[in-house]
């Protein structure tokens, strides 16, 4: 599937940034609520940049 514009799920991250959640494990973690409406079943790769970090990052997710 070709790259596409992300849509957030509701108003959870209207600025299109990940948000920190201290309740995720001992060290906390980051969350991005992504609307998968229109995505077919399969595995996808979300690539993103972090401010101040020159290394590109990616996370794989599946839609069932």
Ordered per-residue pLDDT tens for the chain, 64 residues: 667 777 777 788 878 888 899 999 999 999 988 888 888 999 999 998 999 999 999 999 999 9
User: Which of 62, 27, 60 is CA-nearest to residue 41?
Assistant: 62
CA gap 24, 42 in Å, rounded: 26
Question: Are the CB atoms for 7 and 17 separated by under 8 Å?
Answer: no
Pairing of strands 29-31, 19-21: antiparallel
């Amino acid at each position: 599937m070709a790259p596409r514009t992300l849509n957030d799920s509701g108003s959870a991250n209207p600025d299109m940034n990940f948000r920190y959640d201290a309740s995720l494990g001992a060290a906390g973690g980051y969350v991005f609520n992504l609307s998968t409406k229109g995505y077919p079943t399969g595995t996808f790769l979300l690539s993103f940049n972090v401010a101040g970090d020159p290394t590109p990052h990616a996370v794989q997710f599946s839609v069932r």
